[in-house]
Structure 1
Amino acid sequence: MITTMVKRGGLALLPLAAGLCAAFPAQAAWDFTPVAGARATWSDNLTLQSDALAESGYVMEVTPGFSLANHSQRFDLRLDYALRLYKTSAARSNGAQNRSQDLGGALKSRLVDELLYFDARADIHQQAVSAFGPLASGTDYLNNNRSEVRSYHLSPYLVHRFGAFANGELRYVRDSVSSDNPGFRGSDGNILSAQLRSGPTFRRFGWDASLSRMVSDEEVPVAGGRNERQTTSSKGANLGLRYVASPQLNLGVYGGYDDYDFSGLGGSQSGAAYGASLEWVPSARTALRASAGHRFYGPSYSMDLTHRSRGTVWKLLYSDAVSSSRSQFSLPQAIDTAAMLDNLFRAQISDPLLRAAAVQAYMQSTGLPSSLAVPVNFLSNRYSLQKQLNATVIWQLARTTTTFSLMRMRREMLSKQQSDSVLLGSSLLALNDNTDQVSAMANVSYRLGPQTVANLMATAFNIESLSTGQRNQRRDLRFNLSRSFGGRLSGTLELRHVKGASGAGGPQFAENAVTVGLTSKF
């Protein structure tokens, strides 16, 4: 089964590989770096069971992989792959697995100047099946409450400048999301969108118009191990007008229409959208974009505030939208750690390529995740109204960098419970109806020397099902010491203490573990 899983994961890369072959000329400069890692972990609760069932033991992990990059005037590619092989002292019947894989790839290319562009993404990662099971990170060797999710996203698009009158974009997206969990619907999506935005002719008043159409073809599991095909779709139109009050301030209004076609709970799944917007950029260090209005599901608001000083970066985001697990996997929405650090390092490193390399090296040495203030996503075939607030600040001193983030997210399901019947079973169908999540993360990194970084990270999650009253609380405390032995070899020592739930409505677990690892680049 695992061999099949790896083969299917490789198939997810075929569309991306085809796009790369079309996009890159033969003389393009590639940077291919093989990577190998080895880790040994001892845990006093290897399979994250309740105290009465806790079993101590070890995990040996070997991780071959590679990094592929191409940065030029026309192409920006990053592809990272790791195959993790595990050997544990616990029996596989207790939830241990012998391998998993992770892949992350992104491509931005300019094929024809000011005409044809191509973007692509591919991803393979381990995903929590339920928000109410074990969520502890660092335990990818367990298959309890985990599933492998694979996705790719291909997007060629055309841009055209209609003189000084308007600028237009026509974009096509082909994406796919699948999983090795039979209850989660694999799907292929096609999205066509068009945008037109006023040009320099309109100085005091501007305008923009957009149209979009999405069709998703889903595999629906039914009794007897068969799959049926089902189509869901959405479409939208929007027209916006804005007034340039000053070079720093824009005021606007918008109106449009949204229409969703899925198995709803009743009531309208379509309706008019209207509201007002504001864009305020008082300096190169501060920007605020906000809107307030109404959509078919009720009041709608958004906000994006960024502020940067010499030693800090602040980010505040709020949004509400119709969403699904599928859309979260195909187009993740979170605060990008690399983008935040890029803003922080801008005062010290002016060259964008050198700054990007410094950001990646810093994230690797400190163990920061790729996204900050991230909600716990989980597998579901249902559509939901998602309201999310994220706040993050990064503060840098001579030797110390501190990151603090908060997140609050509420999901209210818009489609029927039966969509998750195979995934959750009849007894847990109401678990995902309405959920509320609150999380906080604090990370302090101290540079002991040119090659050594000490890192202390604390995270906390509170997740509640508003329909059933079930809760999952997770607490995670980690100390990490990282040292680079030259440019190709690095080592880590990590101590962790984790508390959480062992299952939906199940008892709590606690784990203490120590990990020693080496990573080499060739």
Structure 2
Amino acid sequence: MIKLPLRGSPGLTMLVLLSMPSVAASATWDVTPTVRLRESYTDNMNLAPPDQARGQFITEVSPGVLVSTDGPRLQLALAYTLQRVAYTRQPDRTSQQLDANSHAEVLADWLFLDARAGITERNVSAFGPQLIDPTITNSNSSTVRTQSISPYLRHYFRGLATAVLRYDYQHAGSGGLLDVRSTGATLQLTGDNGGRGWNWDLIVQRTELDDAALAPVTMSNAALTLSYPFNSSLALFATAGYEKQDYHSSSAQPQGRFGTLGGVWTPSPRTRLSASIGHRFFGKTYALDASYRLRSMFWSLSYNEDITTTHGEFFSVRPDGLSDFLWDLWATRIPDPQLRLKTIQVFLAISQMLGTDGNVNFFSHRYYLQKQARLSGVYSTPRSALAVHLATTGRTGQTTNAIDSVLLGPDQLSLTDRTRQTSLQVGWNWRMSARGSLTIGASHSRAKSLTTGREDRNSALTVGLTRQLSNRISASADLRHVRHTSTAGANYRENGIGASVVMSF
């Protein structure tokens, strides 16, 4: 690892510092070049039915870089990989992977900037072959590039309110399949009552979406929330507002007044429960957010309903309670922060709980009413950790399915009118020594079209062994077994084995 104090060098920041060298001038940077070498074998390269399965060896060379800083005015984490893959029976290919997030304070107590960028492989549909390894090609995956930048003004007006004025720009693209841009402005005022009596929060938003396959859409809303704390552990709140969205809905007109009633119960610093019931233009709405934490255990439960899009889900912030809990829990067991982060990432990745939570954000140009529930938990002993994640997602199309003819084909347009996905994922990590660990992950998911009756099931079992050979070299080996069944046919099985070495400089 290189500890490097940079003086006006915006080239490494990529996300926010090109126009803000003064923010980075005194920052201390951790820059870690890496190289990943991997050799693997799969007995079903194209995820085809058994009579068409073909085995293949895969060689991967992936140079990359990790860049991070955590200063008083700038926080940034960037991981970039250039993946070069060689196959024994098909042409070689090159791909990229990027995960970058940053937050900067440009003017003290006034101007701030958030930015995100990503390059990753995604499943195009919840039906058909599913992505299990970026090196294995199939017709149901595509590279998605996302970028977002959000400058905002925030200031505290003593005795009155805290004001936040934010501008958002987002772009998600995937070749000719998706190309969506959105711009938005938000004004939020949070009242200051000195901690006594009623609290209030006013928010006004306007967003313009430009999908290359559709006419532009404008979405706006305004809401006022009042809350009252009865005591230190119980508070009630009520929200009233108006929303208007001008996409062409095939059901209820997407506009009108809305309201919500709810409460927050916090009996202790380790337990929290928030629940609400309300009404919007599409009907009654419910929301739940609960968490429970002990010294060696963490549970979270959530439920929400909202109008969403494929583009919007790419930029939604996933719950990170499990990774935060493991970071704190393993602080004494794995004092090296880089090794601890790597161990957590391997554990969550092998148990398939990092990122998409088991259900597919399938590509579509439509607007959906989405109802989503998640239950996550982790239990840890001094040498092991067991994690469980259960998720269910239901979507009902709000706009005509004809706009997805390019994605689905004319004979499959009703496939995603109404869908329900359910997934269960379990991961177990055993720390065999100070430098070695074993991780076992199992998952099962089901995607069902409630309009056509098609149902696809996917099961996977993975085993991974990691070993820190030195401060700069780690090695790993992994096994997997995957099964896919569908009422539409094209069932397949896939087995894979691989070994890799990662070197940092």
Match of 1:361 in 2: 342
Distance in 2, matches of 1:77 and 1:356, equals 16
Match of 1:120 in 2: 115
Secondary structure of 2:28's aligned partner: coil
Show CA shifts across 1:273-308 (max 9, x none).
Answer: 112021122221112222111111111111111111
Q: Are 2:174 and 1:179 aligned?
A: yes
Is the 1:372–1:405 contact (alpha carbons within 8 Å) kept by the matching residues of 2? no
Match of 1:417 in 2: 401
Is the 1:45–1:56 contact (alpha carbons within 8 Å) kept by the matching residues of 2? yes
Which of 482, 496, 504 is the matching residue for 1:513? 496
The residue correspondences of 1:149-228 to structure 2 (distance < 5 A) are 149-180=144-175, 182-184=176-178, 186-201=179-194, 203-220=196-213
The residue correspondences of 1:49-198 to structure 2 (distance < 5 A) are 49-91=48-90, 98-180=93-175, 182-184=176-178, 186-198=179-191
Show CA shifts across 1:49-87 (max 9, x none).
Answer: 101111122111111111111111111100111121111
My pick for the range that moved more, 316-325 or 158-167, is: 158-167
Match of 2:19 in 1: 22
Which of 478, 482, 485 is the matching residue for 1:498? 482
Name structure 1 gaps, 5 residues minimum. 1-12, 221-228
Distance in 2, matches of 1:395 and 1:382, equals 39
Q: 1:365 to 1:269 in 2, by over 3 A?
A: closer
Is the 1:106–1:121 contact (alpha carbons within 8 Å) kept by the matching residues of 2? yes
Is the 2:114–2:150 contact (alpha carbons within 8 Å) kept by the matching residues of 1? yes
The residue correspondences of 1:240-255 to structure 2 (distance < 5 A) are 240-255=225-240
Secondary structure of 2:245's aligned partner: strand
Is the 2:75–2:102 contact (alpha carbons within 8 Å) kept by the matching residues of 1? yes
Code of the residue aligned with 1:29 in structure 2: it is T
Cα drift, residue 28 of structure 1:
2.2
Match of 1:401 in 2: 385
Cα drift, residue 143 of structure 1:
4.1
My pick for the range that moved more, 142-151 or 394-403, is: 142-151
Cα drift, residue 45 of structure 1:
1.4
Is the 1:341–1:359 contact (alpha carbons within 8 Å) kept by the matching residues of 2? no
Show CA shifts across 1:97-127 (max 9, x none).
Answer: 6222211100012222221111000011111
Secondary structure of 1:36's aligned partner: strand
Q: 1:492 to 1:344 in 2, by over 3 A?
A: closer
Match of 2:305 in 1: 320
Secondary structure of 2:230's aligned partner: strand
Secondary structure of 1:361's aligned partner: helix
Secondary structure of 2:18's aligned partner: helix
Code of the residue aligned with 1:20 in structure 2: it is L
Secondary structure of 1:17's aligned partner: coil
Distance in 1, matches of 2:204 and 2:73, equals 28
Distance in 1, matches of 2:410 and 2:208, equals 29
Distance in 2, matches of 1:274 and 1:404, equals 34
Q: 1:293 to 1:367 in 2, by over 3 A?
A: closer
Cα drift, residue 38 of structure 1:
1.2
Show CA shifts across 1:180-203 (max 9, x none).
Answer: 1x233x122111011111113461
Counting matched residue pairs gives 490
Distance in 1, matches of 2:302 and 2:337, equals 23
Secondary structure of 2:16's aligned partner: helix
Cα drift, residue 139 of structure 1:
4.4
Secondary structure of 1:293's aligned partner: strand
Distance in 1, matches of 2:330 and 2:425, equals 26
Which of 277, 300, 322 is the matching residue for 1:292? 277
Name structure 2 gaps, 5 residues minimum. 1-9
Q: 1:190 to 1:457 in 2, by over 3 A?
A: same
Match of 1:7 in 2: none
Normalising by structure 1, report the TM-score.
0.89
Match of 1:466 in 2: 450
Code of the residue aligned with 1:82 in structure 2: it is T
Which of 317, 322, 325 is the matching residue for 1:343? 325
Q: CA RMSD in A?
A: 2.3
Match of 1:436 in 2: 420
